[in-house]
């Protein structure tokens, strides 16, 4: 039994280095791809959230209890991106 194990170890040893090399680089590539995908998705989400116009609307109160006097249920959410009641603030000092 030990003779068979020794034979298998010595015959597979030349193949272990390339196999481990490929596996290590595949692992590093998978981590890099995962990080790249996370950063890309984060940037896309940030761009989409920066399109929310609520803070520049005259109906936005800034109070956490009532954020918007017209549509409080969608204030500061993605549903407010195309809000039909959006009116820009007329006083630029209120920004």
Q: What is the pLDDT of residues 27-83, one digit of tens each?
A: 999 999 999 999 999 999 999 999 999 988 999 988 888 999 899 999 999 999 989
Q: How confident is the model at residue 10 (pLDDT cuts 50, 70, 90)?
A: confident
Kindly report the pTM of this predicted structure.
0.64
Taking alpha carbons only, the member of 13, 91, 33, 88 closest to residue 58 is 88
**Domain ranges, ordered by start, for the chain:** 1-50, 53-95
pLDDT the model gives residue 36: 98
Rounded to whole angstroms, the Cα distance separating 60 from 72 reads: 9
Other Cβ atoms less than 10 A from the Cβ of 76: the count is 14
pLDDT of residue 8 exceeding 60:
yes
């Amino acid at each position: 039994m030990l003779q068979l194990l020794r034979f298998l170890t010595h015959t597979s040893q030349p193949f272990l280095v390339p196999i481990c090399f490929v596996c290590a680089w595949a692992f590093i590539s998978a981590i890099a791809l995962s990080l790249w995908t996370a950063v890309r998705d984060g940037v896309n989400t940030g761009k989409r959230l920066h399109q929310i116009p609520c803070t520049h609307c005259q109906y936005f109160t800034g109070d956490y209890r009532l954020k918007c006097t017209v549509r409080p249920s969608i204030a500061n959410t993605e549903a407010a991106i195309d809000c039909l009641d959006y009116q820009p603030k007329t006083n630029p000092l209120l920004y």
